[in-house]
Amino acid sequence: MADSSFDIVSKFDKQEIANAVNAAAKEIANRYDFKNVGARVELAGEVIKMEASTEERCKAVLDVVQTWLVKRGVSLKHLDVPEAGPRLSGKEYKLDAPLKEGISSENAKKITKIIRDEAPKTVKTQIQGDEVRVTSKSRDDLQLVQRLLKDADLEVALSYTNYR
């Protein structure tokens, strides 16, 4: 019997993110607590740009965006929110949150270490750029690997593709 395998990737659906940002923009335009505070949100390429007249309102815009991302099934681990918070730019507070995609080599090494330490010995891993290929003779072992990674505390959102 041939080996079964799957790839571990960290990718997001650009359309779902666009839908979440558009829904958040509509909510911000209609909510009473965002009236006359210059609150705006937009998706500019791979960055979600938020603006408001006060730091608190800017953080509230971020909260609305995060709520809509979760509703649309997008992991918040794809959102790279600066720890410094909103920055003052003229009279507006601005917050740019870039979107993260791909598994860094550091995270790929953590993933392979978790699999090597906790999964059955028949499971093999191979780092391929920003993906990790997992191979085993048993599909049950592959499903065990997926459960292990789901419970692991990684700072990257994982999804699984090419399940064979």
**Are 18 and 75 part of one and the same domain?**
yes
Structure token digits, residue 143: 């499903």
Which CATH number goes with the domain that contains 70?
3.30.70.990
**Are 125 and 91 part of one and the same domain?**
no
**How many domains would you assign to the chain?**
2
State yes or no: pLDDT of 163 exceeds 80.
Answer: no
Of 78, 98, 118, the domain-final residue: 98
**Are 55 and 32 part of one and the same domain?**
yes
Q: In terms of Cα–Cα distance, which of 111, 93, 100, 38 is closest to 69?
A: 100
State yes or no: pLDDT of 152 exceeds 90.
Answer: no
**Could you list the residue range(s) of the whole structural domain that residue 48 is in?**
14-98
**Are 85 and 106 part of one and the same domain?**
no
**Are 32 and 76 part of one and the same domain?**
yes
Of 56, 79, 98, the domain-final residue: 98
Q: In terms of Cα–Cα distance, which of 17, 24, 16 is closest to 40?
A: 24
Residue 78's Cβ-side half-sphere holds a number of Cα atoms within 13 Å equal to 23
3-class SS of residue 96: strand
**Are 56 and 80 part of one and the same domain?**
yes
- pLDDT category at 129 given cuts 50, 70, 90 is confident
- pLDDT category at 2 given cuts 50, 70, 90 is low
